[in-house]
A = this chain, B = another copy of it.
Amino acid sequence: MSLVVVGSVAFDAIETPFGKIDKVIGGAATFISLAASYFVKPVQLVAVIGRDFPEETINDFISRGIDVSGLERDLNQDSFFWSGKYRADMNTRDTIETRLNVLADFKPVLPRSYRDAEYLMLGNLTPDIQKSVIDQMVRKPKFVALDTMNFWMNPPFVDQLIENLELIDLLTINDEEARLISGEYSLVKAAKKILEKGPRFLVIKKGEHGALLFHENKIFVAPALPLEEVFDPTGAGDTFAGGLMGYLARTENITFDNLKNAVIYGTTMASFCVEKFGPQRLLELTVDKIRLRYDAIAALSSYERALF
């Protein structure tokens, strides 16, 4: 079943305690699409790039089975650019520079062939752009997921974001964002408030501490793979969402039990992403490598229950 992915396709400059790179492919939709492409075809990409974006990467997308007919190129501007520096803990990062460039007036137009997709992943963008994409679908998709960030949780953007929550099935945010949008410190209370606003499912991403999936009154706790070295965490959250949505679109089973596995496949893909700068690692995978990693992650939290 096809999956539409909307978001940025861009350049990043990244500094981590392990190295520095001045220009590497980045963008939420890049990571989401590549991760999802191992599970489902076609992934139908919607994004805007500038005159500076390499044809080679577009060919990478195509060879991964990603439909790029919704990838618009604006020849008058450069691509979106973000530069950031990670602190020693690798969990906190400071933005050094953001150049919106082509994103400043991005108004995505979905190709006709995308508009009846059953799975839709809205990567981090302004809430009004996310809304405009939902509006272009000719029928309500089976499952809509939305990723966002703290920046949109303040006026004047937050009202549209809250409105969007009524239209989606899954929200993916991190713990800090869950606290910010709900006004609750306890993640259990935060999740209740967020689920009341519309989405049936909520995933709270906690980086090295794993992820929490909330649905009705149920909670699933997914471990992260403890790693010797996190080389570059950029895109890990998007890769997680891509693996999750790819698995869901492939299996077409919208139940809490299946969402658990989707979260584990998201975790699996994210564990690869952080091993190299940019999306490099996501271009080198095979189904076998993914299955082996999935097994390693499953082993982490498995045990035989024993009553005493």
Tell me which residues across on chain B come within 8 A of A250, comparing CB atoms: 308
| Interface residue from B89, B229, B300, B308 paired with A219 (Cβ < 8 Å) | B300
Flag A203-228 by CB within 8 Å of B: 1 or 0 each. Answer: 00010011010000001111110111
Count of this chain's copies in the oligomeric assembly: 2
Query: Cβ of A303 and Cβ of B88 under 8 Å apart?
Result: no
| Stretch from A53-61, A156-164, A256-264 that touches the partner | A256-264
| Contact among B228, B260, B301 for A221, CB-based, below 8 A | B301
- A301 to B90 alpha-carbon distance, docked (Å): 25
Which of B39, B212, B303 interacts with A226 by CB under 8 Å? B212
In the complex the two chains form, what is the Cα distance from A212 to B208 in whole Å? 12
Tell which of A23-31, A184-192, A232-240 binds the partner.
Answer: A184-192
Is residue A11 contacting chain B, with contact meaning CB distance below 8 A? Answer: no
A303–B221 CB distance below 8 A: no
A250 and B306 CA atoms in complex are apart in Å by 12
A186 to B168 Cα, complex, angstroms:
36
> Which of A89, A260, A300, A308: most chain B CB closer than 10 A?
A308
Given A210-B221, A219-B226, A221-B223, A303 contacting B261 (CB threshold 8 A): yes
Residue-wise interface mask of A (27-67) relative to B, using a CB-CB cutoff of 8 A (1 in contact, 0 not): 00000000000010000000000000000000000000000
Let me know if A197 is at the binding interface, CB within 8 A: no
Interface size class of A (residues with CB under 8 A): 35 or more
Answer yes or no: A132 CB below 8 A from chain B CBs: no
- Contact of A306 with B261 at beta-carbon distance under 8 Å, contacts A209-B209, A220-B300 already known: yes
- Closest Cβ of chain B to A210, distance in Å, is 7
| A298 → chain B closest CB, angstroms | 5
**What is the CB-to-nearest-CB distance from A37 to chain B, in angstroms, rounded to a whole number?**
13
Residues of A284-308 at the interface with B, using a CB-CB cut-off of 8 Å, are 287, 291, 294-295, 298, 300-301, 303-308
B301 & A188 in contact (Cβ 8 Å cutoff): no
For A89, the closest partner residue in chain B by CB is B185
Indicate which residue in B222, B228, B264, B298 contacts A188 across the interface (CB closer than 8 Å): B228
Q: Which residues of B contact A119 (CB under 8 A)?
A: none
Give the distance to chain B from A267, nearest Cβ to Cβ, in Å: 11
Is there an interface contact between B223 and A188, defined as CB atoms closer than 8 Å? no
Per the bound structure, the CA–CA distance linking A49 and B172 in Å amounts to 51
- Residues in B with CB closer than 8 Å to A186 are 227-230
- In the bound complex, residues from chain B placing their C-beta under 8 Å from that of A264 are 303
Known: A295-B305, A298-B305. 12 other contacts (CB 8 A): A39-B308, A88-B185, A186-B230, A188-B226, A188-B228, A189-B228, A220-B301, A221-B226, A221-B300, A223-B223, A260-B303, A261-B305
What are 16 A-to-B residue pairs whose CB atoms are below 8 Å?
A39-B308, A186-B229, A188-B226, A189-B228, A209-B209, A210-B210, A210-B221, A212-B226, A220-B301, A221-B223, A221-B301, A222-B301, A261-B303, A264-B303, A291-B307, A294-B305
